[in-house]
Amino acid sequence: MTPFKFLEIYGEKLLIAILVHLEYVFVSVGIGFIIALILGILLSRTPKISKIIIPVIGVFQTIPGLVFIGVLFMYLGMKPITVIIALSIYALFPILKNTYTGILSVDESVKEAARGCGMTNMQILFKVELPLAMSAIFSGLRMSTIYTVSWAVLAAMIGLGGLGEFIYRGIDTNNNVLIVGGALPAAVIAIILGLLIDCIQKKITPRGLKGGK
């Protein structure tokens, strides 16, 4: 089957699947980013608690996405919120770890210099720590986004659409065209979003922090 023939037959369904997939990714990563940023800041201020929470999060992250979505499906049913909750939780892990690590990696002498200039703790956080941790935070965001694009495929397992519909239908019917029809757009989306995040990072990162330039 030629690409044109494929689009003629499945074009409308593919477009809907892509839009649903993007909705899952944007909403989940957005929610995960906000929660992860707040938790990362809080954990960087509470080392005793973070020593317990970070390893626990690491263990939780090893739980297969399909298992977690399946458990949520049992309690919440076949609703988009089931997928959003699962993807948001998985999306926050990389961002949380990188935010926490990025803030802790800020040189203490830099923070002391900021205090010497009369900055409050809040000013140090927003004007010193977060800007210096920006590279690590965006690295986590990029990783989270790319992972979420692939994890969103699992939504089709509980009948909630996305590009996984093509992939799983292709597997069930031994139709490689459908598998590629779902997998290829997902890969392209992951690449494009990764590049977009890189561009945003370059735009908002202070000039003096760009690769030490």
Q: How much of the chain, in percent, has pLDDT values that exceed 70?
A: 95
Write the pLDDT tens digit of every residue in 128-159. Answer: 999 999 999 999 999 999 999 999 998 988 88
Report residue 208's pLDDT band, with 50, 70 and 90 as the boundaries: low
pLDDT of residue 102: 93
Q: In the structure encoding, which two tokens stand for residue 103, read together?
A: 């803030």
Write the pLDDT tens digit of every residue in 12-36. Answer: 899 999 999 999 999 999 999 999 9
Residue 209: pLDDT above 70? no
pLDDT of residue 213: 41
Q: State mean pLDDT over 97-122.
A: 90
pLDDT of residue 25: 96
CA nearest 163: which of 141, 178, 174? Answer: 178
3-state secondary structure 145-212: HHHHHHHHHHHHHHCCCCCHHHHHHHHHHCCHHHHHHHHHHHHHHHHHHHHHHHHHHHHHCCHHHCCC
Q: In the structure encoding, which two tokens stand for residue 121, read together?
A: 């703790």
CA nearest 88: which of 154, 150, 25, 146? Answer: 25
Is residue 140 within 8 A of residue 96, CB to CB? The reply is yes
Is residue 131 within 8 A of residue 171, CB to CB? The reply is no
Residue 45: pLDDT above 80? yes
pLDDT of residue 210: 55
Residue ranges per structural domain of the chain: 12-207
Rounded Cα–Cα distance for residues 129 and 118 (Å): 15
Report residue 212's pLDDT band, with 50, 70 and 90 as the boundaries: very low
Q: How far is CA 168 from CA 78, 80, 160, 164, in A?
A: 17, 18, 12, 6
Is residue 53 exposed (0-12), middle (13-18) or buried (19+ Cβ within 10 Å)?
Answer: middle
Mean pLDDT of the chain: 88
Q: State mean pLDDT over 38-60.
A: 87
Q: What is the CATH number of domain 12-207?
A: 1.10.3720.10
Report residue 206's pLDDT band, with 50, 70 and 90 as the boundaries: low
3-state secondary structure 106-127: CCHHHHHHHHHCCCCHHHHHHH
Report residue 11's pLDDT band, with 50, 70 and 90 as the boundaries: confident
